[in-house]
Amino acid sequence: MILTSRGDVDLADEVARSLAKLDVEVLRPSAGDGGSLEEIAQAELFILVGRRARSIEGLAGTLGQDEMLSGVPRLVVTEEKALAGFDYCRLADDILVAPFSRGELVARVRMISWRNEKVDPSNQVKAGVLAINLSTYEVTVDGKPIDLTFKEFELLRYLVSHRRRVHTRRELLSRVWGEDYYGGARTVDVHIRRIRSKIETGNRTLIQTVRGVGYRFTG
């Protein structure tokens, strides 16, 4: 999701064109200042575009006010003169200075995605004591195999692969069961409860319930 200040739409257009042939869906909210957050609840990467430090801080501040969006990775695209004016270590996961090449932008987007999903060369996603093998559909906790159904596996895989953010029940239904699924939010709750009974032992909590919103993997 590309968010930009109103005065930097041309730079945001350049970013969008550079990503046009990448295997990702690039979205732009209808509100140019990022104010329409309900449109972007499922974004997995925010690209904050602005030439001025104040513009970037405003966009990052808007995201920080929403618990569902505050943990989504951010790539800041700005000009060199803005770097001294804002706390990019706190507000960004990576920075790209304009003018930039398409190859560098694509590389940075892919690297952020790789770091976020934490898939290692053996095609495993690891999070603390939990390991998910994406090739063999095996899940282990502390090295011990866990028996999951296919939907339980897919739901857990999605939560672990996008662990930095809160996911609504509606989003999880869409991502795991598909847009055409007619079941209700209780389907997600039931599957989460079953997964917890299999992977959480003692006082260890791996899946957090965010009251009134949904779930987040915290392991």
Indicate the pLDDT class of residue 197, thresholds 50, 70 and 90.
very high
| pLDDT band with cut points at 50, 70 and 90 for residue 89 | confident
pLDDT at 32: 45
pTM of the model: 0.59
Residue 118 confidence (pLDDT) above 70? no
Please tell me the predicted confidence (pLDDT) of residue 44: 76
**3-class secondary-structure state, position 12:** helix
Q: What is the pLDDT of residue 35?
A: 45
Q: Find the mean pLDDT for residues 130-155.
A: 91
Residue 120 has pLDDT above 70, yes or no: no
Could you tell me which residues come within 8 angstroms of residue 34 by beta carbon, excluding any fewer than 6 positions away? 3, 4, 40, 59, 62, 63
pLDDT over threshold 80, residue 193: yes
Residue 50 has pLDDT above 80, yes or no: yes
Residue with tokens 């930009």: 4
42-66 average pLDDT score? 81
How far apart CA 78 and CA 157 sit, in angstroms, is: 34
Mean pLDDT, all residues of the chain: 82
Does 124-217 carry CATH code 1.10.10.10? yes
C-alpha 215/C-alpha 210 separation (Å) is 6
Domains in the chain: boundaries: 2-117, 124-217
29 cis-preceded (ω within 30 degrees of 0): no
Please say if the pLDDT value at position 94 is more than 70: yes
150: exposed, middle or buried (Cβ count in 10 Å: 0-12, 13-18, 19+): exposed
What pLDDT, on a 0 to 100 scale, did the predictor assign at position 155?
A: 94
Q: In this predicted structure, which of 129-133, 145-149, 187-191, 195-199 has the lowest mean pLDDT?
A: 129-133
Q: pLDDT tens for residues 28-45?
A: 765 444 445 555 666 778
CATH of 2-117, one of 2.60.40.1180, 3.40.50.2300, 3.40.640.10, 3.30.110.40: 3.40.50.2300
DSSP 119: B
Flag whether pLDDT at 145 surpasses 90. yes
pLDDT tens digits for 152-175?
A: 999 999 888 877 678 888 888 888
